[in-house]
Amino acid sequence: MKIYFVNTWKTNEKMERVTALANSLMNDEDFLNEIAMVDAFAMSDVAPSRISEFINIFTGQINIKYYKGSIFSSALAYFTPSRPYDININTRKMNRSDGSLVATLVHELIHAVDKFAINASFGHGDNKWTPEKEYTAPYYIDKIAEAFIDKKPIHEGNVNDNIAIPTVNKSTWTWWKPWTWF
């Protein structure tokens, strides 16, 4: 099995479990196929099937690190382009499901893969949330990850129906936390 995530700092039982789940998910053919089967991502210039391949051939290892965010911060984690192999998890925001934590790791991994993918771009621009960003590769793939781990539906309906009309029915997004990603 290919290792994508490593706990390099202090850790705990939950993060050990979450890290193992994230690593097996990234090696799961069903997960990679689910990404490849998306018709298109918003704010991306490559096919989802290509992004799935980029993930599969990515050889970097992501170091999971921790920081204690401000009590006013809603960030779950952050990614720094100058340190693409580090994921920084906010220790104030760890009381959530395994799937939600795996989704955070996967989201930041997509940023790292995007940074190293030549002639391809699939980020989400700034951190200001808009409905369209739900369908960018980092957000949508992290949602697939959460759905796989927590065994929840990914989305009702076709993703691309909603890229054209981003103001979709919000009631289908009840477990979406748009303001929390960085």
- Residue ranges in contact with Zn ion by CB under 5 A: 138
Smallest distance from Zn ion to CB 149, Å: 19
Smallest distance from Zn ion to CB 110, Å: 8
- Kindly list the distances between the CA atom of residue 2 and the CA atoms of 21, 45, 130, 135, in Å, as whole numbers in the listed order: 13, 27, 34, 27
Residue nearest to Zn ion (CB): 138
| Spatial contact of 77 and 104, defined as CB atoms under 8 Å apart | yes
Query: Can you tell me the distance from the alpha carbon of 56 to that of 2, in angstroms, rounded to the nearest whole number?
Result: 9
Smallest distance from Zn ion to CB 142, Å: 8
Smallest distance from Zn ion to CB 35, Å: 16
Toward Zn ion, which CB reaches closer, 99 or 138? 138
Q: How many CA atoms lie within 13 A of 55 on its CB side?
A: 31
List phi, psi (to 5°) of 68.
Answer: -100, 110
User: For residue 106, what are its two tokens?
Assistant: 């996967």
Toward Zn ion, which CB reaches closer, 21 or 137? 137
Smallest distance from Zn ion to CB 13, Å: 27
Q: How many CA atoms lie within 13 A of 145 on its CB side?
A: 30
Toward Zn ion, which CB reaches closer, 69 or 138? 138
Strand order in the sheet with 5-7: 5-7, 62-67, 86-90, 77-78
Query: Can you tell me the distance from the alpha carbon of 136 to that of 113, in angstroms, rounded to the nearest whole number?
Result: 14
Toward Zn ion, which CB reaches closer, 26 or 106? 106
Toward Zn ion, which CB reaches closer, 20 or 116? 116
Toward Zn ion, which CB reaches closer, 84 or 138? 138
Query: Can you tell me the distance from the alpha carbon of 25 to that of 103, in angstroms, rounded to the nearest whole number?
Result: 10
Smallest distance from Zn ion to CB 77, Å: 9
